[in-house]
Chain A
């Protein structure tokens, strides 16, 4: 079942000469329990799409359906079943975490709000912090409080806009672990935007790439990386640079020497065993072999730059 279905979503800003299309005829869907990464360079239209999915920006055209309900016809039904968390939105800083959560529990009409909040507070290990003012929390603690807010209404889908932005690697890793646990415990569907490709590769089942307002790629993280056919082989050898160079020339390979004992060879991933075997047969003694495979980051760079990715 599709939890979210977006069809021909378009957003134009400005008029006449100043008009620009932020989101251009975007269609996609997210299935129940799926974690979908929403990626793209700055200005790709990710945030505008998220804003439209939350109802705080009106689309120029197109439709959004949550749980097969038209979002614009029944926003309250949909909003009571979705939630949102972002590094860029905070709770009310002047009041305590507990007070914030009680307010949101009422806004979402949570049955028995206090036991529910207590349970989530315990789950996120915030017992000692709930009576602190939100502004007095560290960034990591705020992120946890935001997650509690986002889980108050048992959402079917959570939209996460760069939830780990500005977190140190340790807290970011813990946050990702939280998300993974959430997913397994609550079977929550997640639409996740981030600039961190390693994160996306770690937690997302599927990735949607957006560029200049359009979807330019949509696949699993592995499927996307396979679109870049090349890999880079870094070989360290003891001697015989001449023999190595002759072999690489004869094989018409792209290569670059770094000193007398290191060579970088860029080639199709499937050719790597053949090259290593060929050099071994020539009596080249290889002391170190390192293969650099394409990652989601390389796919991102390829899309953002609009040209095939080249290993440097």
Chain B
């Protein structure tokens, strides 16, 4: 079965997308590290933030406390999607298997699309479990913001996580595994600017302007507004706008990095 096609590429193949999906599933099943990074740590974070929420609820009120916990849960959307793309590729670099994959007829679009799908599936599973935990232990019903607002907020966060992962992947392809720590760390550097746990108004003025360049800022603002029962249409619109710009930029950036990597021979040297 073939579907979507980009200029210069043949039709995307369902078989090849399924292959990467299976590959990711196999690695996840056999790797305790992935289990830790994608399931255990996020759930522990929910527990830690949950207790903090109980403590904060007394001082700030339940709404603010719940906003912090909801921010924490939805942050995992970005984290897991970008981790899935960037670290997913690294498993094959470390195993010296990346060349084997890229000498099959798989296209870059299929490769990235597959990781977008697997990242989304993983994110949905982890967020689902986090929501269950938050509901039964800390009495936070994240679905109370409404299914449609929640869907659009999550979609924006996944889009950003995917774009961020693609940028990291481009950097790894171009500069090699010496910058592999970006796959875990770089997103956390940007986290304070994305108003995950607090409103943008908390940030000092120069940082506020930078914060508004990130699509998740609008998504998290929308989450807080939705929890207060306010309309979020404008925030979601801004979030989509910045996400489309960032996604387009990320794909162009990745294509350039990948092309340069093959020109300089770095791609072939990735596996050492």
Question: Which residues from chain A sit less than 8 Å from chain B, CB to CB?
Answer: 11, 13, 48, 51, 54-58, 75-77, 79-80, 82-84, 88-96, 99, 102-109, 133, 149
Contact = CB atoms under 8 A, between A and B. Distances in A.
A295 B264 CA distance: 37
B220 interface: no
Given A56-B268, A95-B30, A90 B103 contact: no
Contacts of A96: 26
Interface stretch (B10-18, B38-46, B72-80, B153-161): B10-18
A82 B105 CA distance: 10
Interface string B241-267: 000000000000000000100111101
Given A99-B26, A107-B105, A91 B97 contact: yes
Contacts of B19: 103-107
Scoring B9, B27, B30, B267 by chain A CB atoms within 10 A of each residue's CB, the highest score goes to B30
B96 A89 contact: yes
B100 A104 contact: yes
B265 A107 contact: no
Interface of B: 9-10, 13, 15-16, 18-20, 22-23, 26-27, 29-31, 91-92, 95-97, 99-107, 259, 262-265, 267-268, 271
Contacts of B13: 109
Given A13-B264, A106-B16, 13 more contacts: A54-B99, A57-B268, A58-B259, A58-B263, A76-B107, A79-B105, A88-B96, A89-B100, A93-B95, A94-B91, A107-B19, A107-B20, A149-B100
What 4 pairs across the A-B complex have the smallest Cβ distances? A106-B19, A107-B104, A95-B26, A76-B105
B135 to A, nearest CB: 34
Nearest to A85: B100
A104 to B, nearest CB: 7
Contacts of A105: 19
Given A76-B107, A92-B95, A107 B101 contact: yes
Contacts of A104: 19, 100, 104
A95 B22 CA distance: 11
Contact of B265 (A57, A75, A95, A102): A57
A7 to B, nearest CB: 20
A56 B103 contact: yes
Contacts of B95: 90-94
Contacts of B105: 75-77, 79-80, 107-109
